[in-house]
Amino acid sequence: MFGKKLSIDQINYLNIGLMIIAAVTAFIRPFETFLFVYAFLGPLHYLTEISWLHDRNYFTGKKSDAILLVLAGVVITLASLQVIPDVPSNVGTAITFFAFGSALVFVIVKNAYGRAFGLFIAFLLAALLSKVNFVHTVFSVFLPTIVHVFLFTGLFILVGALRGRSFSGISSLVVFVLCAVSFFLFFPAGNMYAVPDLVRSNYQDFQMLNYYLMTPFSKHDFNQPANIREYFSFVNNILYSSRSAFAVMAFIAFSYFYHYLNWFSKTSVIQWHQIPRSRFAAIIIIWLASIGVYAYDYALGLKWLFFLSFSHVLLEFPLNHLTFINIGKEIGGIVRGKPAAIAKA
């Protein structure tokens, strides 16, 4: 991984293979695949990506811009771990929305007065929209999870395919989409298995994602007893026994597994390992300690790494916005007949 630099075509074909591996594993044991890769690969991904973003000024031009995003991560972490008591349910949504809007301001606005105005608008919109059920679903449930690991990963593949315009790049995008769709078209009814009690216990903190994915954009208020009963009925009667629930779980497992594999497969391109030895050693120590905590108590591991997990999502927001911008530029270049930005290897 750290040796000979791979060509763009080689990386694309490598990723096609990794997509297939992630998909097959997710088909066979979706719950176990997710829990394993989340605990084993997740911490190393958070640490190395934050390090990589830091060395590139978080793609905003100023390292100081990231302070607001980190503070957002701190507040959300304290609220999630109930260090701050009696936090209204929409606060996390409002903070995530504000962080996402602020990241856009940091990327496209350079003037200090323009930034101040943009941040004010982002704050105002966050305050006004955070109680809307659709906004809550998108910014509190989907954005930090499946949007981050699946949609944005797909967009990164897309912008690479548009830049290179190579057969390998286009093929990787097609295979990525086909793998995701395959779970819903071909998941066999006979592939369902008895999910062990330990796996169910460790997956408790993630069950809400499955529920929302299977009832997209529905209006849920879990403070109401009827809807609480509906949720627990879903967990007890559907999540671990329904074919459609297993297909959704396989999609989630594939999305996370490949998200991590995609990051590590492109080491020779993004060069995240080109850092001071002291920082690299610290990353490895924290990673190994995190694996140990997960092995000892999975729920404790989730608490231990919640800040890193959520903060790496927030700190990637500027890059996400740049990806949208670059996709637009590449499409515009294709329309104008501009040659590929990445020469064929």
Q: pLDDT tens across 7-62, in order?
A: 889 999 999 999 999 999 999 999 999 999 999 999 999 999 999 999 999 999 78
Give the residue numbers spanning the domain of 260. 8-322
101, 104, 89, 105: which is closest to 140 by C-alpha?
89
Number of domains in the chain: 1
Q: Does 345 reside within a domain?
A: no
For 221-254, b/e burial (b = at least 16 CB within 10 A) is eeeeeeeeeeeeebbeeebbebeebbbbbbbbbb
Q: Does 189 reside within a domain?
A: yes
Q: Does 333 reside within a domain?
A: no
Residue type, 277: R
Q: Does 329 reside within a domain?
A: no
Q: Does 96 reside within a domain?
A: yes
Structure tokens at 102: 């602020």
Q: Does 25 reside within a domain?
A: yes
Q: Does 331 reside within a domain?
A: no
Residues 270-312: pLDDT tens digits?
888 889 999 999 999 999 999 999 999 999 999 999 999 999 9
Mean residue pLDDT across the chain: 89
Q: Does 175 reside within a domain?
A: yes
pTM of the model: 0.92
